[in-house]
Structure 1
Amino acid sequence: MTLESDLVTRHPLTLAADPGRVIAKLFLPGEEGSEVHSRAAGIVARVLALTDDEVAGLVAALLARFEPRHRDYQGTLTRHAAIMAPRVRAPTELSPSRTLLLGACFTAEYAVEGAAVTNPSAVAHPDQSGLPAGALRLVLSLRAVGEGHLSSIGFAVGVIGPGPTVRLEPRTGPLTTGLAVPVAWERGRLRALLADHGLDDEVTRSVLDALDALDGSLVGGDLEQAFARMPADLLRRPQAAGILAGIRSVAGTLRRVEFPADSALAQRVLWPTVASESKGMEDARFVRFTAPDGAVDYRATYTAYDGTDVLPRLLTSPDLRMFTTSPLTGQAARNKGMALFPRLVGGRHLALCRSDGETTGLTVSEDGLVWEPFRPVHEPRAIFELIQVGNCGSPIETSAGWLVLTHGVGPMRTYTVGAILLDLEDPSIVVAALPEPLLTPTGTEAEGYIPNVVYSCGGLIHDGRLWLPYGIGDSRVGMASVPVDALLARMRP
């Protein structure tokens, strides 16, 4: 018998896309067709031409229909109206109702899971209260895919145990994309990132020197002050405008999002906020990270996609309510699929990566931000991974070694989940590997948005079992489990 048939349990749980999970986002008519000419002025003029009674009737209908579907709906419309305020000719002063109507004309609902929900990772929930003995509350991060194949990061909450049981908690209530709050760069980090982007010229150095002359070690509003202090001779250089735009772009890649304290985790959506992820935030691999002093936080790498290029980025959070997203640099941070180790190994940060697109490698970092060139660890060898291999999430520590769930791509672009075991002290050494897939797409699992795919971004061990949430056909999510001891016993040197 195969491992899958005699050890793996597929649980009767399916998490499917819910098109009713919507956010209210800024909508600029014509942008979906890449129109160059703005249509905003005409829309504003038509809103201003309506009578007060017409406005009142329209707004009443909007609030009755949409307010129950969104958190702070009126606040969202007001913010979107403020963005369009320069189109309103002075001294026109808009009434509250007309402001809401103007905002509604530049707002659209977006179903974050309109197309699919897939590629989950699992971590222990920060709140374990109210559970029976032997149970664990877990967080599933989800890749939500909507119109235009735009991906965002959502969440679900489940409970595993006691024993081999699992259930999902309801995902109800209006969604929220949180509130962006100011965050400042540490000067040395910004300097290194600019150099990584090829910005190491005289204009950039002048800006950095001006920053160094300012008080404090953090870069926030100081950037514009530094621009103002630049010598005029440098500003007259033909390249100066492009370089300054590049500095602004790099400086804008650090973001922090805070969600309302009264929002449930399943209501929170991490939505693209920087140019490098304008076409999606994909495949977050979450891990619960323990620092040498015992402090714990949540970290994740995810793939930022701008429609052309992919880059790994880092999420950090103390509580899954406040998130900071920042760029990663170094030669290993150049492709999809980075996965962080849950603690330091040998005093350094470690991560798995796939810098060459087909081989699982190991990379190290002194600070968890700048990553050294990778060393190959696991190359395509088995028949179910002839095309490429990669990780399925962060390594999981066991007494026998680091258990790494892998994905292999074989003939007919069939994705399967496998496993390897790395040495605890030197994870560049593969001490054992599973000779056959742990999961293959069987039966209806072979059907989906992308056929013949099972894929995970991370599992966890609880009560002697490996719990593995996995995407099916890039369209829905299932859950499997396997006894850890039995799995390790089936691995071969």
Structure 2
Amino acid sequence: MTRYAIDRLVFGPDDVDLTRSPLAGHFDAETYVLGAFNPGLTRLPNGNLAMFVRVAEALRQPIFDGHIHAIRWDAGRYVLDAWPLDLVDTADPRKFLIRGGRWRVMALTSLSWILPVELSSDGLQVVAVHYDKAIEPQGSFQCYGVEDARVSRVGDRWLMTTCSVSPERHSTTLYSSRSGLDFAFEDIVLDHQNKDMLIFEGLIGDRYWAQTRPLGDLYFAYPPGSAWRAGPSINLATSPDALHWKPHRQPGIRPHAATVTTARMGGGTPPILTDAGWLTLWHGVEPKEIVGIYRTYWSILDRDDPSRTVRSDHVPLLEPAPELTAPLEDKMYVRDVVFTTGIAEEKDHYVIASGEADLASRITHIPKCTFK
């Protein structure tokens, strides 16, 4: 059993109506929902919550005629690309690697778009599914999809970051809203591989702050005996307008050498201000098989200098919960993954939104006293 009294799946693959998908009618092949997961979360002016669910839509039969096929957006329509099976590695169900190059090249087994789902104020009931407000690719820089929305409210404006995927770049894109539901595209804001850009929910001084997580295949070693482990870390950046970002000189949250659970790490929820400082939830990954074990951890950052961690905890806040996905066993394709992506404040607790097993959207109520 999970450790929290309220901890459940609230939206999953069977809750998506693919007849209203942006992909519907574009090609003669059946699709299905591989996952409805990694939801951004925010409080709406009417008091309800809104999740922004990543819908990964995949081909029911991707392999035919000796090829594996991928979905791609192309100038306002969706098309299928065919790759010879003898040129690819399909070990990971989420993607396939194309052999023969001097560097790793991959394509996805699904194309993702963002579906706004309005929830009751406690996050436990679906009030409305806003297909008319879905966010889908609109340029060649998003031709393989729009992934993993994170939503922050800063003043009277909502800011959403997404990961946009294409052969051109693996970029972070920004959307903004005055209502919390209707988002308009702003621009590409990070032009390098960065999976987790999280904008702080409030200014520090007169500047926007964000956590970032640049990716790479090469990292330099910390000296022997260091408290830190070389690898992906959570960095910081600042901006005068939320569009133009400068990396911060001081590092943010780094993987700790004392535990293998942060062998890989990245940001989870946009930092929110508490009496103790900025509360941020993030994921750590323990190596296991192909995907690893994803867990959620937390840290408190100094309110004036977020590069300084006030306190943190190596005990997981959230762990994968196989009992929650047991009714969806026939749809499982990865395990051991909880990927926390949204947070909203209530009187004595936080409503936490996560992706569970890259399959469904999970809501957990976590008491505020947990972070004391």
Residue 143 of structure 2 aligns with which residue?
Answer: 278
Distance in structure 1 (CA, Å) of the matches to 2:167 and 2:324: 28
C-alpha contact (below 8 Å) 2:9/2:360 kept by paired residues:
no
1:395 aligned onto 2:356: no
Contact 1:24 1:107 in 2 (8 A): no
What displacement does 1:308 show? 6.5
- Counterpart pick for 1:298 among 114, 136, 158: 158
Picking from 162, 167, 179, the partner of 2:124 is 167
Q: Taking structure 1 as reference, are residues 393 and 432 closer, same or farther at Cα in structure 2, changes over 3 Å only?
A: same
CA shift in 2, pair 1:109/1:322, >3 Å = farther
User: What is the aligned partner in structure 1 of residue 252 from structure 2?
Assistant: 377
Q: Does 1:16 pair with 2:12?
A: yes
Alpha-carbon distance between aligned partners in 1 of 2:286 and 2:366, rounded to the nearest angstrom: 23
Deviation at 1:429, TM superposition (A): 0.6
Structure 1 or 2: more helix by fraction: 1
Q: Distance in 1 between matches of 2:285 and 2:253?
A: 13
1:380 alignment partner, SS class: coil
Q: 1:426 to 1:275 in 2, by over 3 A?
A: same
> Which secondary structure state, in structure 2, belongs to the residue aligned with residue 119 of structure 1?
strand
Cα deviation digits, residues 267-302 of structure 1 (max 9, x gap) = 521111111111110001011111xxxxx1111111
What's the secondary structure of 2:157's corresponding residue? Answer: strand
* Cα 1:109/1:462, change in 2 over 3 Å: farther
| Structure 2 equivalent of residue 488 of structure 1 | 371
What 5-or-longer segments of structure 2 have no aligned partner?
59-108, 217-231
Task: Tell me the distance in 2 between the aligned counterparts of 1:323 and 1:457.
Answer: 18
> Is 1:287–2:146 an aligned residue pair?
no
| CA distance in structure 2 between the partners assigned to 1:384 and 1:160 by the alignment | 37
Name the CA distance, whole Å, in 2 between partners of 1:387 and 1:457. 20
Is 1:441–2:320 an aligned residue pair? Answer: yes
Q: Could you tell me the TM-score, scaled by structure 1's length?
A: 0.55
Given candidates 337, 344, 347, the residue that maps to 1:463 is 347
Greater alpha carbon shift after TM alignment, 270-279 vs 382-391: 382-391
In the alignment, which of 198, 209, 222 is matched to residue 350 of structure 1?
A: 209
| Aligned residue in 1 for 2:287 | 411
1:161-217 CA-partner distances (Å, limit 9, x unpaired): 4xxxx5222546xxxxxxxxxxxxxxxxxxxxxxxxxxxxxxxxxxxxxxxxxxxxx
One-letter amino acid of the structure 1 residue matched with residue 165 of structure 2: Y
Aligned counterpart in structure 1 of residue 179 of structure 2, from 319, 324, 335: 319
- Deviation string for 1:127-153 (max 9, x for gaps)? 23xxxxxxxx10011101102410000
- Tell me: CA distance 1:271–1:436, structure 2 relative to 1, closer, same or farther (3 Å): same
CA distance in 2, matches of 1:339, 1:20: 29
Runs of 4+ in 1 over 6 A off after TM superposition: 106-110
Report deviation, 1:392: 0.6
Indicate if the aligned counterparts of 2:40 and 2:150 stay in contact, CA closer than 8 A. Answer: yes
Deviation at 1:471, TM superposition (A): 0.8
TM-superposed CA distance for 1:15, in Å, is 1.4
1:384 & 1:420 partners in 2: Cα distance?
Answer: 17
Please show how residues 326-341 of structure 1 align to structure 2 within 5 Å: 326-329=186-189, 334-341=193-200
Q: Any residues of structure 2 matched to 1:181-260 within 5 Å, and which?
A: none
Task: Tell me the TM-score normalised to structure 2 length.
Answer: 0.72
**How much has 1:460 moved relative to structure 2?**
1.5
Write 1 or 2 for the structure with the bigger share of strand: 2
Contact 1:328-1:370 within 8 A present in 2 as well: no
Q: Tell which structure's C-alpha radius of gyration is larger.
A: 1
Question: 1: distance between equivalents of 2:335 and 2:349?
Answer: 28
Counterpart in the other structure of 1:175? none
Q: Does 1:139 align with 2:43?
A: no
Q: Name the structure 2 match of 1:239.
A: none
Structure 2 CA distance for partners of 1:472 and 1:306, relative to 1, 3 Å: same
Superposition CA RMSD, Å: 2.7
Q: Distance in 2 between matches of 1:436 and 1:368?
A: 33
Query: Does the 8 Å CA contact 1:119/1:456 hold for their aligned counterparts?
Result: yes
Counterpart-to-counterpart distance in 2, 1:383 and 1:474: 24
* Partner residue in 2 for 1:124: 43
Residues 409-454 of structure 1 deviation map (CA, whole Å, 9 limit, x = unaligned):
1121110001000011111110000230001113346873322110
Q: 1:468 to 1:322 in 2, by over 3 A?
A: closer
2:112 to 143, 151, 160: 151
| In structure 2, C-alpha distance between the alignment counterparts of 1:462 and 1:269, rounded to whole Å | 27
Which residue does the alignment assign to 2:237? 363
Cα deviation, 1:95-154, whole Å, max 9, x if unaligned, reads: xxxxxxxxx8x776986x6221000121001323xxxxxxxx100111011024100000
Identity of aligned residues (%): 25
Q: How many equivalent residue pairs? A: 296
* Displacement after TM superposition at 1:24 (Å): 6.6
CA distance in 1, matches of 2:354, 2:5: 13
Counterpart secondary structure, 1:276: helix
CA distance in 1, matches of 2:190, 2:357: 32
Q: Read off the aligned partner of 1:373 and give its amino acid letter.
A: P
Instruction: Sort the Cα spacing of 1:428 and 1:117 in 2 relative to 1 into closer, same or farther, 3 A.
Output: same
Provide structure 1 residue ranges, at least 5 long, that are not aligned to the other structure.
28-103, 129-136, 173-264, 291-295
